[in-house]
Amino acid sequence: MILKGIILYCVSQIETERSVSAVYYIITGKRSIQTVQDMHIYQLKNFFGIDTNIDKSDYDQLIQACEAEQLLIKVDDEKQLYRISRQGERWLVKENDQLYLNLFKGAQYGANSHTYFDRLRLLIQTLTNSKMGYFQFIPVIENKDVENWVKRNYSAIKPVTNQFLSKLYEELLQVLHRFPVEVAEMFVDRLTGYKSYGKSINQLAKQHNRSTKTVHLIITGFLHFLIDIVMKEEPFPILRFIAKDLTSSVYLTNTAQITHQFLHNGNTIQEIANERNLKVNTIYDHIVEIALYDSDFSIENYVSKADQQEIIEAFYQTNSYRLKTIKDFVDNRISYFQIRLVLAVLQNEVESNGSIS
Amino acid sequence: MDQLAEQYTLLQNQLDKFFGYPSFRLGQKEIIQDIMEGKNVLGILPTGSGKSICYQLPARLLEGLTIVVSPLISLMIDQVKQLKAMNFKQAVAINSFMDYRERNDVLRNLSHYKLVYVSPELLQHDQIQQKLGEVKVSLFVIDEAHCISQWGHEFRPDYLKLHEIIHVCNYPAVLALSATATPKVQEDIIQALGNQKMVKHVYDMDRDNIAFCIKEVNDDQEKNAKIIALCKKYRVPSLIYFSSRQAAEKVSQILIQNLGYRIAVYHGGMDQHDRITIQQQFMNNQLDIVCCTSAFGMGINKQNIRLIIHYHLTTQVESYIQEIGRAGRDGEASVSFLLYSKKDIHLPKNIIKKDLPTKHDVMVIFEHLYNLYMADQPLPVKGEAMNRFHINEVQWRFICYQLEHHGIIKDNTIFFKNNVWLRARQQINEYCQHRITMKQAKLNKFLTWVHQKDCLRKYLYHEFQSGYKTPKYQCCTNCGFSWDHWSPVQIVPMEEMTETWQDKLKGKLLVGVKDETE
């Protein structure tokens, strides 16, 4: 259900400018330049990579189901363009309280939020069991990195286990109050303590009358929001400590990072392409990606001030992110690459200032 | 103190030290002593008697490696987890779920381990055999050894090649273990392992604290009604066995709606993590009833299971004995309740057929292999073959074994000789027919028992042992079993449903609970 809500919302954002596959790539977190740019342009960063396990065929079925329920309307079969219907919009409003769409912060915390949860769960299981002198428990988490993280911290925490647990309890109590009751319940039931094993996703789904996919998404959203709170607000030292060295994520694709380094060293686009044995167009893609993330990145080497102005004018006139529309509007000498760069910078400004206009 | 007693005390101390058990259970001490003296042992111990200790303790004490062959991958993984939880870190399970790199790591450092579980299929790999030849193997354990006999209830062709592996390992002490093996199967085991001298330790499997209750009903609806009524009266730790995953799921839903108890499903289709979760919850008394398939229970050591219900017939006496053996390990009065309707009989029949390829399957496979041979192509990999031939994993494994046996394939290469192929095809078909007839006979035996008018206890075990113990509590339906005379301790559930998340969180984090270590 939540996935359905997310899809409807995303489609309503991109309107008919992209195919529904673009939404699929955002949700599954495809690390391509096109997808990264899409999520910025259409302000769908929060849903980036929130579920990397959906099959394309399942996704397509869901789209068809939405169409059958007349929540989505197919505009162009060949290009797979859809728009949200009135009914779809009403559905989003009506179900809003159950969709928890505001919890997600995919681009920011997506990659590491489940590791955060794994650390937290294994830490709680370890501390409560060791407090009771029971060392034969079967760990809930089977991830070597997480195991090592707990091991590294265990000896320091062990002497103050009681204080640590009560402090953790207070922090969780305080932060959980900001979530809907259903979400807080799911989180607590998922925890494993001493002789009290956490519930499986399946059990939570039955208990709350949700699908397993939805429970998974709720927990994902919960973690994004939780990490966001504890990183931004003061009184959560323990919950923040668990996030340490997890949140510093860089979203540039590897290959774009290498290009960034070359640019930094003063190489030209052509030189980089030759050196790396890549097409010039690929390097263009990298530069657009860099411009999206790095607000200090200057695009003046690639687009003159005057041309920038012309593209911005065109954007406001056409009120479209569609490259072709803008291209038709501006002078011929301006390339697609230049339009994309300007849109990327514009996007950056939008994000730091709030909204467009 | 004489030498034997001294050695015994020593073993007992080590049992306590390594596993936390104060004393040996029936048969363990005798088997372990023989193993420590380097003898070959055949151990037939009833389900739940702690068979695995018979090799886990020697593995810790012996110099060199203990190899355990087990057909059940999930059981291996569980056991390794439990051993690690008990601080026995030099245990590992080599299985097909491991990725290539991980497996290579283990094999490279094989001599650093003390206890290695491995599936019979993997033992056939040259790389693994070569490694085994390079290290010192002190004990070679064959778990579920009845799989070696085609008269056993779960024949595994790969088990027939184990004597070759024993040779590769340079003849270490051999321990063959099973919970259910008739005298005939026991002979087969000894013969298939190369006819070496083996000390037999055979223990009776009858359970004097379990009563047998059988009830014929008209259909599944009536079964559901009976179970609901029974569980309303007795809220006790219970297992309900089903022959299919779907049925387990479906009935669990009905029970949840009607009982409101803490009920979960367990079957082989669930992922490893969920399975462990359900097991642990049941162990920790967080669940009242588990609706499961035969995948549940192996390796689980819960003492207070009071009621085992069979929603479907099993395909043979052996499976039934194993499954009911999980009840009442603490010796308290427990009940096995079997429900069946006349319509049920096709279920075990279908299960029997599913283990083997049909004549048509064999024909299609041979034709396709011939085409591959002509095109100079190798044998398809497992997943591809299962898809192409519409057969399951068990059937494909069987086919591969047979093809290899007849010299038609070797290391994924196909070899063709017209007369060999013709003979092989005929023999495979005959063999399948023979297996099905045999399994059918086993099913008939079980059905005869279900319809038995005389004492059920007497006839359940009569093929395995000569007598049986006098029941401690009630005996069976035919000896006048009555539910009214059964009054087990009931579960008093904590008010879990009404507890707020705040309270639960406090409980999980043990806030305000005194330390055990203080």
Would you state the pLDDT for residue B4? Answer: 72
Q: Which domain holds residue A47?
A: 2-99
Residue B40 has pLDDT above 90, yes or no: yes
- Is residue A104 one of the residues assigned to a domain? no
Please indicate, yes or no, whether residues A349 and A320 belong to a single structural domain of this protein. yes
The answer to whether residue A107 sits within a structural domain is no
In B, minimum Cα distance to A136 occurs at: B85
Question: Hey, are the CB atoms on A135 and B85 less than 8 Å from each other?
Answer: yes
Paired with B91 in beta bridges are: B115
Q: What is the mean pLDDT of chain A?
A: 88
Q: What is the pLDDT of residue A175?
A: 96
Q: What is the mean pLDDT of residues A276-282?
A: 91
Instruction: Give pLDDT tens digits for B120-155.
Output: 888 888 889 999 999 999 999 999 899 888 776 677
Flag if A138 and B276 touch (Cβ within 8 Å): yes
> B33-70 in b/e burial notation, b at 16+ Cβ within 10 A?
bbbbeeebbbbbbbbbbbbbbbbbbbbbbbeebbbbbb
What is the total residue count of chain A? 357
From chain A, pick out residues whose CB is under 8 angstroms from the CB of B86.
136
Residue A292 lies in a domain: no
* A9 within a domain of the structure (yes/no): yes
- Domain shared by A69 and A117, yes or no: no
Question: Do A92 and A126 sit in the same domain of this protein?
Answer: no
- Among chain B, residues having any CB pair with chain A shorter than 8 Å are 20, 81-82, 85-87, 256, 264-265, 270, 273-274, 276-278, 280-281, 284, 286, 501-502, 504-511, 513, 515-517
Q: In what helix (H) or strand (E) does residue B176 lie, and over which residues does it extend?
A: strand B173-178
> Are A232 and A126 contained in the same domain?
yes
**Candidates B282, B496, B501, partner chain A, best to mutate (most A CBs within 10 A):** B501
Query: Is residue A339 in some structural domain?
Result: yes
For the stretch A164-181, pLDDT in tens is 999 999 999 999 999 999
A121 and A211, same domain (yes or no): yes
Element (H, E) at B433: helix B418-450
- pLDDT band at B350; cut points 50, 70, 90: confident
Would the pLDDT of A246 be above 90? no
Listed range (A321-335, B52-66, B94-108) with the worst mean pLDDT: B94-108
Are A22 and A129 members of one domain? no
The answer, for A39 touching chain B at a CB cutoff of 8 Å, is no
SS (H, E, C) chain A: CHHHHHHHHHHHHHCCCCCHHHHHHHHCCCCCHHHHHHHHHCCCHHHCCCCCCCCHHHHHHHHHHHHHCCCEEEEECCCCEEEECHHHHHHHHHHHHHHCHHHCCHHHHCCCHHHHHHHHHHHHHHHHHHHCCCCCCCCCCCCHHHHHHHHHHHHHHHHHHHHHHHHHHHHHHHHHCCCCHHHHHHHHHHCCECCECCCCHHHHHHHHCCCHHHHHHHHHHHHHHHHHHHHHCCCCHHHHHHHCCCCCCCCCCHHHHHHHHHHHCCCCHHHHHHHHCCCHHHHHHHHHHHHHHCCCCCCCCCCCHHHHHHHHHHHHHHCCCCHHHHHHHCCCCCCHHHHHHHHHHHHHHHHHHCCCC
Same domain, A346 and A307: yes
Q: C-alpha angle with apex B114: B113 to B119, nearest 5 degrees?
A: 85
Quick: pLDDT tens for B147-176.
888 776 677 778 888 999 999 999 999 999
If one counts the domains in chain A, the total is 4
- Tally of residues, chain B: 518
Of A39, A68, A99, the residue at which a domain comes to its end is A99
User: Does residue A105 lie within any of the structural domains?
Assistant: no
Asked if residue A320 and residue A230 are part of one domain, the reply reads: no
Distance CA B94, CA B117 (A): 6
pLDDT of residue A354: 41
Please check whether residues A170 and A189 belong to one and the same domain.
Answer: yes
Compute the radius of gyration of chain B from its Cα atoms.
Answer: 24
Q: Which domain-ending residue is among A71, A99, A127?
A: A99
B516: nearest CA in chain A?
A132
A316-330, B80-94, B370-384: segment of lowest average pLDDT? A316-330
Question: What pLDDT shows up at residue A357?
Answer: 35
From the list B284, B501, B515, the residue facing A188 with the nearest CB is B501
pLDDT band at A295 (very low <50, low <70, confident <90, very high): low
Contact between B516 and A131 using a beta-carbon 8 Å cutoff: yes
- The residue among B148 and A221 whose pLDDT is bigger is A221
